Structure 1
């Protein structure tokens, strides 16, 4: 028998596991015609909620860039490990209450596996869009999530569930107003993948998985003035 699972309890459990950001996006937000990504309903029938969790990445991982990319990449992977453990525990808690749950990968490619579509580089849903819907932040010009507390130096994961949790709501427009008039990430991109009109995913991926051999770049985050928050 399904039990009523308080959203606040899930949030408290996540915090105990080292999670810095927690929010819930209602499934219907992905049916908005303005959303151009893949719909999670296509891979998780009966979806009611998308639980979004995030951890902040230490500033010291960004400051030496472009030197120290191995340390930077390893720090990101440690964030991924933290998110996976927490997401797994939250999914187990949801299923203990009689609901179904599945964990969304933190990024498109990791540990030799590709989670995103190789041609479009699109995952089964945009976790950043879910985070915006949940009220955790807005998009930057670098197409990363800009949060009030940590700026862009966050790493995200999500849990899909049919549990009817209490959803959050966007706190502003899709594009962060703190990016207005700033072009630092555009100027910092080594391959010109970021422009005022959007981002070239293929150029970004080709640089990281070609030129850098799989190490992460991070220059657009390092250049953001909000990193020092």
Structure 2
């Protein structure tokens, strides 16, 4: 089952895409964006941030349940497009060669980028906006999503970007235990590093969390977003999280 589906015209971001992933990605003018929502029952438990079972369940749910399904769906779409005579390139839902090849902590922000940003086509397709948590925020699901992408030359009708609706909400910024989010709104003209310190985020997840609890999920910026959590509004004080200094 797919919860979000749309097609993006990639022309506004061609230079950025080629710079990040390689010139060959410029051969594909369109991108099919697919999203599957996470289990609310699992995400809602993230307020118990220092519970090893909560972190394990969240991490397993993302990387071993939802992500493989997204990759399967992307492959099926690719095969159907190829049978119709179109070119297609399925981008794996989660893979970073620098991280997958080592258990060490990466300190180079550039190496914390994958070949292609799944948030970008989802934004361009109008499935949501990129929030201050640097995640796609969909009106119905908030950031409680995983995404994948299929690059193609098939000329499907495309969507239009959605306006940012974070406004003055900073709940994700305030709750971040790594102090990695900078509170800046998304802009196509601005590099990711202007909005998030990816090294701080990575060091917290791979260093503090994994060493302490055995999992690297975190997910507090996903949990706290009012667009995915009906118990929280933009005016809600930052929730108290056991085990965090900001509690």
Decide: shared fold, TM above 0.5.
yes
Residue 71 (str. 1) matches residue 57 (str. 2): yes
Contact 1:103 1:158 in 2 (8 A): yes
Residue 181 (str. 1) matches residue 168 (str. 2): yes
- 1:157 is aligned to 148
User: What CA deviation, in whole Å up to 9, does each residue of 1:173-223 have, x standing for no partner?
Assistant: xxx22x112111111111101122421111111111222235211011111
SS where residue 84 of structure 1 aligns?
Answer: helix
Distance 1:218 1:181, change over 3 A: same
Shift of residue 145, structure 1, vs aligned partner: 0.6
1:36-55 equivalences under 5 Å are 38=19, 42-55=23-36
Choose from 199, 206, 224 the match for 1:202.
Answer: 199
Quote the Cα distance in structure 2 between the aligned partners of 1:38 and 1:202.
20
1:1-229 equivalences under 5 Å are 18-31=1-14, 38=19, 42-65=23-46, 66=49, 67=51, 68-77=54-63, 78-109=65-96, 113=100, 119-120=109-110, 121-172=112-163, 176-177=164-165, 179-197=166-184, 198-213=195-210, 215-229=216-230
Quote the Cα distance in structure 2 between the aligned partners of 1:37 and 1:219.
31
TM-score, length of structure 1 as denominator length: 0.80
Contact 1:21 1:55 in 2 (8 A): yes
Contact 2:35 2:148 in 1 (8 A): yes
User: What CA deviation, in whole Å up to 9, does each residue of 1:22-67 have, x standing for no partner?
Assistant: 01111312237xx588466723352121110000001111122213
Shift of residue 96, structure 1, vs aligned partner: 0.6
Distance 1:166 1:40, change over 3 A: farther
Identify the structure with the greater strand proportion.
1
User: What CA deviation, in whole Å up to 9, does each residue of 1:112-139 have, x standing for no partner?
Assistant: 636xxx6412222221111111010001
Distance 1:36 1:195, change over 3 A: farther
Question: What RMSD over aligned residues (CA atoms) do the two structures have, in Å?
Answer: 2.4
Mark the runs of 5 or more structure 1 residues left unpaired by the alignment.
1-17
Quote the Cα distance in structure 2 between the aligned partners of 1:142 and 1:27.
23
Contact 2:81 2:87 in 1 (8 A): yes
Contact 1:103 1:160 in 2 (8 A): yes
Quote the Cα distance in structure 2 between the aligned partners of 1:166 and 1:223.
34
SS where residue 64 of structure 1 aligns?
Answer: helix
Quote the Cα distance in structure 2 between the aligned partners of 1:107 and 1:92.
20
Contact 1:41 1:47 in 2 (8 A): no
Contact 2:10 2:124 in 1 (8 A): no
Contact 1:138 1:145 in 2 (8 A): yes
